[in-house]
Structure 1
Amino acid sequence: MKPDLKTYLDVSQYLQDIYKYRKQHRSDFSYETWASELGIKNKSYLRFVTLGRRRISESLTLQFIKNLELNEAERDYFEVLVAYCQAKDAVEKRLLGKKIIELSQKPLTQTSIDAHYALLADPVMMKLRTLLTFTDIQKDSARLAQILMVPLKKIEECLSTLNSLDLINTDQSAKQEATKIPDHFKDLGLQTFYKNTFQEAAQALALPATERRFRSSFFAMNASEFLDFQAKVNEFVLSQLQTYNFDQLDDRRLFHFNLSVFPVTQAEVQNPPAEDQFEKK
């Protein structure tokens, strides 16, 4: 299979794999052949470039793009990847790294669905619905029960509910890849969902440290700062959803990410100015 550019964070490794790929499909392919295609006179120079021992010039970057027949999206990624791998300044490298992540992510489109009590009250339901978005898993009840570690009868009940809510297709695949549920705090279904979530998180304390992570902090915020905090959290969560937005489960496990923030003190009431504490004469 041809190397997928957007899975690489090292341009020299990508070029080495491209060389191996072409060599497999054409036995007489060599650095000399490739150098000729790129308009490079010295094959040793090209070899050093692919090994990361020589810098890739702007003109050679353009030659690689043409030679590799990269599309527009791949071209943008390749140019940023070259700059990232050759950046000497830490700040520049960090900014380019962020750009690489943005370019490598698959666009995430979330569809709003109603907060049905039947969908949210059962802890298994949302896990199952998420699992059904992956294209490479067997979607028969027995296999799903095995993956989620729940009784077969429970899976069959949940599938029936998802079908009645029109959230799965006839082949039991999810109708929407990514969904979101409006956060109406007084909704009984959401309240039940979060209560179940916190209970499961407490039970997860018994898991090996390599399989779970907990972190707690205290910091002070006023109303305006709290809104800013929420915006940053939403941005972070969306970024993670995009980063780990896979079509296939492969050897991955489904993880549940929880985040809660709430006040633990009352707001301090400011004393009125001293002159207001006395009656005016």
Structure 2
Amino acid sequence: MKPITEYTDYRKFMLDYYEDRKAHSVFSWREFSNLAGFSSCSYMKVVCDGKSKLSKQGVERTAQAMGLVGFDVEYFRAMVTFCQSRSDAKKKEAFERMCAIAKNHKVRVLEERLFDYYESWKNPTLRELAPLMPGATPGELAKKCYPPVTAWEVQETLKFLTDSGLLLKAKDGTYSQSESSITGSSEATRLAIRTAHRQMSQLAANSLDLPTTERNITGVTMGISDETYDRIVHELETFRQKIISIAVADKNINQVYRLNLQFFPLTRKVKEVPHEND
């Protein structure tokens, strides 16, 4: 079984623990639940299925049932808080705690680098810009950014990107991308992406001061049903993929742009549509 610090989802960690025990001995959800002191024989399965949460007491009993000791227990506590918190601020605090625990014990959290990448708009921007300006100094790169950044910020960002393997630096000082695109799927990455969306939305608002020859911002307000919402989201995703294909095929890149697809409610639902089985 993988070390606990390779997990950011405590339910996945618990499920892997269960599967590992079951593969090497006679082990059931009933036994797992009993070891943790729960009266329900299927409670641990219910938790792993995402249908229930662990209380503070439940966290301690579950950690003991799995035989966690030392910093593994601390990490498990922080991981449960990270997964169960509704507040992005609390989630971020818990994730940073997980990373700190891992760092103190000379291990790493696999999602930490991607989390850091999405935390600042400068990372994706300079990842695209640096390869376009071979031999450019941090000061020269800084002058090309909207909004303005310092040469020191550019230098630190480039160091992070190269240390993370997200940019490759050649001997002559030029940069190239290790991968054409970056995606994330874990809860930690999704949390950081929400921060990125907030930053990019603010940058979009600031771009209204640019001439219309350099930016295109339009919008439409409409009333729709749940079914129409799903259809529009599908069309937006198809459109996004088409835009990516167009951009990837471009061989004469001279500027970095950001496309925001924003489709959000302006009101609460007027009425709930009953389901067929109701």
TM-score normalised by structure 1 residue count: 0.49
Q: Tell me the TM-score normalized by structure 2.
A: 0.49
